[in-house]
Amino acid sequence: MGIATGVCFVVLVLICTFLREGRAATFTFVNRCTGTVWPGIQSNAGSSRLDPTGFVLPPGTSRAVQAPSGWSGRAWARTGCAQDASGKVVCATGDCGSGSLECNGQNAATPATLAEFTLAGGGGDDFYDVSLVDGYNLPILVEPAGGATGATTCAAAGCSADLNERCPAELRTEGGAGCRSACDAFGKPEYCCSGAYANPNTCRPTAYSQLFKSACPKSYSYAYDDPTSTFTCAGGRDYTITFCPVATPSMKSSGGPGATTAAPTGPTPTLPGATPQMPRSAGGGQGSGPDGQGVMLGDNSWLASLATGDASSAPSSPPALRASPLAPLLLGALLLLLLVL
């Protein structure tokens, strides 16, 4: 009798623990480009390091990476990576400067298209966006599992257009493999939203950011872009990050280590509101609330911080309590013990 009571107490403690812990999210990286990419992952300050922080992803393959509840950070694709004479890994775009396959906490060199996440943020919701604030190197699409088809309510976010094809000459870099942001290219406060322009009232869209926005309306084009460029889902979802979702830009490719699986088959995802400017993949070629609520945080400075990768001013509300998939099993065990008693 005493043993059974003790077991019941332990089970109750386990149930409470699982109810209080948020479920880990799974990021599935998919490469639909014609060439190999080398994804990089950087955690924001205060967030745990993910494993791995960089890997090779050949065309037509995918790889899953786990992220704990409350994680925030960014992911991107490095292109044209190779080892130099000293064995150091160097990439044409998105290089993180680590000299190895792993990025080890280092950020992407500009220009790079960034997928940014804050899991279980304000109100326990997930916030995510695709940012062109640091420039562009290839198309990225972020899709939440079971997402709705709203404008900014748990929907697909990203840029599926080939900005390298329409990049102004003064922003073009790496032989056309990347398109710099105006801030990166010119360093002027009006382009960087710094100094007297460090607020949404004075830092307005420029001809360059409008070019990015017209091509990729579901992406951040500059630090104080429209708040609808940030998307939100109720926490606890998994996400698919697809490189070259509807197009296959030409890029340098070479082999490398890393475990991968075949990429999912089926219809290629399309980005609501976007008009792809590149041919579809065909095995080659050139080229704020729960679900249903929009992101209205009431603080544009946090939106700008998310776009620039600084989560220090993000809402610090604790994650919402979500049940673990093991909780029903534990509850069943408890009920069984109570029947025995």
Residue ranges per domain, the chain?
Answer: 24-249
**What are the beta bridge partners of residue 109?**
none
The pLDDT value given to residue 21: 44
The pLDDT value given to residue 24: 87
Of the CA atoms within 13 Å of residue 295, those in its CB half-sphere come to: 28
List the one residue out of 233, 235, 212, 237 whose CA is nearest residue 223.
212
Mean pLDDT of each 10-residue bin along the chain, 341 residues long: 44 38 84 97 97 97 97 98 94 97 97 97 94 97 79 84 96 96 97 96 96 95 89 94 78 42 45 32 33 31 39 38 43 50 51
The pLDDT value given to residue 310: 45
Q: Map residue 29 onto helix, strand or coil.
A: strand
The pLDDT value given to residue 246: 83
Report the alpha-carbon distance of residue 191 to residue 170 in Å, rounded: 14
Report the alpha-carbon distance of residue 114 to residue 73 in Å, rounded: 10
335 contact partners, CB below 8 Å, separation of at least 6: none
Q: Map residue 300 onto helix, strand or coil.
A: helix
| Residue 307 parent element (H or E) | helix 300-308
Q: Map residue 62 onto helix, strand or coil.
A: strand
* Percent helix, percent strand, percent coil in the chain, to nearest 5: 20, 20, 55
Residue type, 339: L
Fold of 24-249: Thaumatin (2.60.110)
Radius of gyration over alpha carbons of the chain, in Å? 22
8 contact partners, CB below 8 Å, separation of at least 6: 334, 337, 338, 341
The pLDDT value given to residue 61: 97
